[in-house]
A and B are shown apart, each in its own frame.
Chain A
Amino acid sequence: AQTVTQSQPEMSVQEAETVTLSCTYDTSESDYYLFWYKQPPSRQMILVIRQEAYKQQNATENRFSVNFQKAAKSFSLKISDSQLGDAAMYFCAYRSFDFGNEKLTFGTGTRLTIIP
């Protein structure tokens, strides 16, 4: 079974600075998908960014980018120019490539605080 580990329960960053959230995973599969979800105080789960494991190029979405290291099974999220609205719980998630259950396996989350 796949597992996802987020070793930083809490992080904080000064507004306008850059922060990196860590995520490692364990899998025996060669093809899979990785996601970062944001959960603000409203509790809504919002997709931030996603990465296909067979693509070597790191995904980027505006101020959000990932550092995907397949051999190391690492998938960190970098937030540039942090804004107050980025304050949230961030979850890393894994999904198998195979047809069938689209189950997301989540990490335990990192709570990000933005310091004005």
Chain B
Amino acid sequence: EAQVTQNPRYLITVTGKKLTVTCSQNMNHEYMSWYRQDPGLGLRQIYYSMNVEVTDKGDVPEGYKVSRKEKRNFPLILESPSPNQTSLYFCASSPDGAGGYNEQFFGPGTRLTVL
């Protein structure tokens, strides 16, 4: 089954404790992206990747890091989480970065709470 998976689905942590949210897709997609969803703000892009070893900032990159060492994986790293990073996080992928009518496939979301 074609899908985007995220782990963990739920995470409660404390301020300053480094964490990684994994994202993996099995569709051989080149493009991957991370969004965060906050009430009243919709979804906002954090980082994106056009291909392996090619990443760039989105609209709200502060406090986050990403890496793309393999085509299928695009982990989101919070090196020193803070309470304002409490949010619902989505990973998404699409076939390539050529724009067009490509549908973006979303993962199931990760609910992160930073105390």
CB neighbors of A among B61-109 (8 A)? 88, 90, 92, 94, 97-104, 106, 108-109
Q: Pick out which of these stretches binds chain B: A12-20, A45-53, A69-77.
A: A45-53
Q: Is A108 an interface residue (CB 8 A)?
A: yes
Residues of B within 8 A of A (CB-CB), count: 30
Are B45 and A52 interface neighbours, CB within 8 A? no
Which B residues, 34 to 52, have Cβ-Cβ distances below 8 Å to chain A? 35, 40-45, 48, 50
Most buried by A among B40, B42, B98: B42
Looking across the interface, which residue of chain B has its beta carbon closest to that of A109?
A: B42
Choose one: B35, B42, B50; the contact of A108 (CB below 8 Å).
B42
Q: How far is the CB of B104 from chain A (nearest CB, A)?
A: 6
Q: B residues bordering A, Cβ < 8 Å?
A: 31, 33, 35, 40-45, 48, 50, 56, 58-59, 88, 90, 92, 94, 97-104, 106, 108-109, 111
Chain A residues in the interface with B (C-beta under 8 A) = 4, 33, 42-45, 47, 50, 52, 91, 95-104, 106-109
